[in-house]
Structure 1
Amino acid sequence: MNKSHLALASAVSGLLILAGTLSAPATAAEAKEKCYGVAKAGKNDCATKTGSCAGTAKTDAQKDAFIMVPKGLCDRLAGGSTQSS
């Protein structure tokens, strides 16, 4: 992935996260999934293969770092995958 694609993926991810925080509160019925490869450095939701807790991703779009997103959204994000690399 070149730098312009990475920048675009990061921008889209940030906008989606912002939109999610501004919308109505999430309910327990909303399905979520792990989305690997789209988290910004230091913004991952949980431990990675190289870090023991949330917020330990060393680089943007680290392949083993994930964020939780609404089910079905990950496949639409550039660089997003529901499987860890």
Structure 2
Amino acid sequence: MDHRLVLSSALATVLALGAAAPAAAAAEKEKCYGIAKAGKNDCASASGSHSCAGQAKADNAPDEWKYVAKGTCEKEGGKTMAPAKK
């Protein structure tokens, strides 16, 4: 068997498995509102006050969120539903 064929097949397999891992990890997490510390939020606020991670201005703001392990949000004092927009 051609060594290049074996090597390229092995490399393709490794790359395919590496791409699937982040998707599986994301499925095991959920957004948790109201627990992010200032500057430690994961993405845009629910209220639209900013659109990037790390821009939370206050600890535990109800419209700021971060990813946590699925099923742990309420144990940490947060909520899985975004607050109603004003």
2:43 to 46, 51, 59: 46
Runs of 4+ in 1 over 6 A off after TM superposition: none
After superposition, give the CA deviation of every residue in 1:51-84 in whole Å (9 maximum; x if it has no partner).
Answer: 1200111100011111100100001112x00011
Structure 2: 5+ residue stretches without partners:
1-21
- Counterpart of 1:57? 56
TM-score after normalising by structure 1:
0.62
Structure 1: 5+ residue stretches without partners:
1-25
Q: CA-atom RMSD, angstroms?
A: 1.8
Identity between Structure 1 and Structure 2 (%): 53
- Cα separation, 2, equivalents of 1:45 and 1:72: 18
After superposition, give the CA deviation of every residue in 1:16-69 in whole Å (9 maximum; x if it has no partner).
Answer: xxxxxxxxxx88256110000000001000011211200111100011111100
- Greater C-alpha radius of gyration: 2
Structure 2 residue matching 1:28: 3-state secondary structure: helix
The count of residues paired between Structure 1 and Structure 2 equals: 59
Which structure has greater helix proportion?
2
1:82 to 77, 80, 83: 80
TM-score after normalising by structure 2:
0.62
Does residue 28 of the first structure (1) align with residue 24 of the second (2)? yes
